[in-house]
Amino acid sequence: MEAKIIRYSPWVMHFNAGACNGCDIEVLAALTPLFDPERLGVKLAPNPRHADIIIVTGALNKKAAERLRRLYDQTPSPKFVIACGACAISGGVFADSYPVIARADKVVPVDVHVPGCPPRPEAVLYGIKRLLDKLGG
Amino acid sequence: MALVEIPIGPQHPALHEPVMLKVRADGEDVIGVEVNTGYNHRGVEKLLEKNSWVRGMYIAGRVCGICNAVHTQTYVQGVENLMGVEPPPRANYIRTIVMELERIHSHMLISAVMAEVIGFTTLFMLIMRDREKAMYLKELVTGNRVHADIHVFGGVKRDLDEVRRSRVLDELRRVEERLKYYRRVFETDYTIVRRLSEVGRIKKSDALKLSVVGPTLRGSGVRSDVRFEDPYAAYPEIPFSVIYRDEGDSWARMMVRLDEALESVNMIRYALERLPQGPAVPKAIPRTARPGEVFSRVEAPRGELFYHIVSAGGTNPYRVKIRTPSFLNVLNTESTYLGHRLADVPVILASYDPCISCMERVLVVDERSGRRVYMSLKELAQVGFG
């Protein structure tokens, strides 16, 4: 299967779709030396066209959701989406608010959900690892 | 030469936050910048009205993940006033410790982002590595890495025991050591000084006119700090000096932040050594407030954070208006980009320490017709001040 090929060096792109920054600083922390994601081949991609995995954080308001869809379409296949944090999974505390869509899987297909408010950097990496295991199996 | 319009964001590898800068450039020179926001609007103020006072604590904290404890502090100290409860001194000290830890990690984060923006990735990685020490301290005190959620009406949720207190004091030494090192790097490194000095300069008179706040204001030579002018929590009892510099450029702002972080280390140490005895965790949480309104302000890592809370009695707030520091710092400073090179735009933006999730409460969306009204920046500023 062609998706197998990305499991050696999945490049992640991080998109903040209306998060409170909590998840974003944890995703950022997960990509830095203490947690050392490069042992899994994980690297931050600057551009959707270079990315294999999109990490979505935040409660997705309508304006950001359009952007997320566009970024998803710009990413070459095979591509995978990780919904990171309570907001991207269910809306979190913002679930009832008027501008938010509140679920990343209403906009793009989500492969892995990482729960937490915010998830720890270890949890973010564990989510990526689970995704890679799924591909390699 | 032809005019080029370059969009920066909303997805950008260095900024990590959904803001869009439309930069009009003539060759390499910037002749116009338009800040396009709205990617992070979550309707926080409406949500606060719909939920009870107690739930509001968690929503206020989730306005911004980086400065969540100061958001909760501003909300809680305002509501405590309406509820007529007073936090015990020990709780005030613990709150102050958490807020100062947050200032350290926030200032380290923006120093790291600034290093990444100017292409100094090694420094970015090093600062991020050492920032984990500050995050660890925050986890020791509050039990959480990011969202502290330690405030509660009339106290804090979690007391600080002797073991953790001495551990924090111990670890603080290492944070201080690294902060001193990074301060030296930012002060002396040739690349950093060349990239940051004279970039995005704001004169003292302009800083007052543009009503910027926080390190951006203090970097322009104005000695203004809410902790000093209008002390709250345990700040009246903790000695500290207000850091300010006269240069007014991006470099001065970064130096103010790093000096402030070092000052915070001393404040935390002072607070931990003189932690008052007594209860800190309240036995019961009050749930109703008297009718009335309060203004509450706190010095967030980015500047003055301001809440206006109106109560009509009962269990829910009637109205909560939030004005965050980034709102002023990012939207009012469009003119400072002009005349600089294209490569300086991210540097200037990062030097204001933009916190987009804080400022996004201004997009007007007409739900039924699907029509969106973007207010012009002028209107936005007027709404913000009104």
Structure tokens at B356: 């987009």
Judged by DSSP in three states, A16 sits in strand
Q: Which residue of B has its CA nearest to A50?
A: B13
Residue A132: partners with Cβ closer than 8 Å, 6 or more residues away: A7, A10, A40
Asked whether residue B347 falls in the same domain as residue B229, the answer is no
Task: Give chain B's domain count.
Answer: 2
Does B256 share its domain with B347?
A: no
Contact between A19 and B65 using a beta-carbon 8 Å cutoff = yes
Same domain, B230 and B108: yes
Question: Is residue B294 domain-shared with residue B350, that is, in the same domain?
Answer: no
Rounded (10°) angle between helices A121-136 and A22-30: 60
User: Residues of chain A whose C-beta is under 8 A from some C-beta in B?
Assistant: 13-26, 28-29, 32-34, 44-48, 58-59, 61-64, 67, 71, 92-94, 96-100, 117-118, 120
First to last CA, chain B: 41
Among B44, B39, B23, CA closest to B320:
B44
Residue B308 to residue B292: CA distance in whole angstroms? 11
**Domain match, B116 and B80 both:** yes
Q: How many CB pairs under 8 A join A and B?
A: 133
User: Which of B325, B344, B359 represents a domain boundary (last residue)?
Assistant: B325
* ipTM entry: 0.90
Which tens digit of pLDDT belongs to each residue from A83-134?
999 999 998 888 888 888 888 889 999 999 999 989 999 999 999 999 888 8
Q: Same structural domain for residues B21 and B83?
A: no
What per-residue confidence (pLDDT) applies to B367? 37
Whether residues B49 and B29 fall in one domain: no
Please tell me which residue of chain A has the smallest CA distance to B145: A120
**Would you call A44 and B363 a contact, using CB atoms and an 8 Å cutoff?**
no
Contact A23 B65 (CB under 8 A): yes
How many CB atoms lie under 10 A from the CB of residue A106?
Answer: 10
Q: Given an 8 Å threshold on Cβ–Cβ distance, is B132 in contact with A34?
A: yes
For chain B, how many residues are written?
A: 386
Same domain assignment for residues B35 and B48: no
- Minimal Cα–Cα distance from A50 to chain B, Å? 12
Q: B305 has which bridge partners? A: B298
Domain spanning A2-136: CATH 1.10.150.20:
no
Torsion, CA B207, CA B66, CA A94, CA B49, rounded to 10: -50
Domain spans, chain A = 2-136
Q: Are residues B368 and B303 in the same domain?
A: no
In order along its 386 residues, chain B shows pLDDT tens digits of: 578 888 877 777 666 677 777 888 888 888 888 877 778 888 888 889 999 999 999 999 988 888 899 999 999 999 999 999 999 999 999 999 999 999 999 999 999 989 988 889 899 999 999 999 999 999 999 998 989 889 999 999 999 999 999 999 999 999 999 999 999 999 999 999 999 988 889 999 999 988 899 999 999 999 999 999 999 999 999 999 999 999 889 999 999 999 999 999 999 999 999 999 999 999 999 999 999 999 999 999 999 999 999 999 889 999 999 988 888 888 888 888 888 888 888 888 888 888 777 666 544 333 333 344 444 444 444 443 32
CATH code at position B230: 1.10.645.10
Same domain? B313 vs B334:
no
Question: What is the predicted pLDDT for the residue at B13?
Answer: 66
| Structural domain boundaries, residue B174 | 44-325
Average pLDDT over every residue of A41-56: 88
Which of these three, B291, B310, B325, is where a domain ends? B325
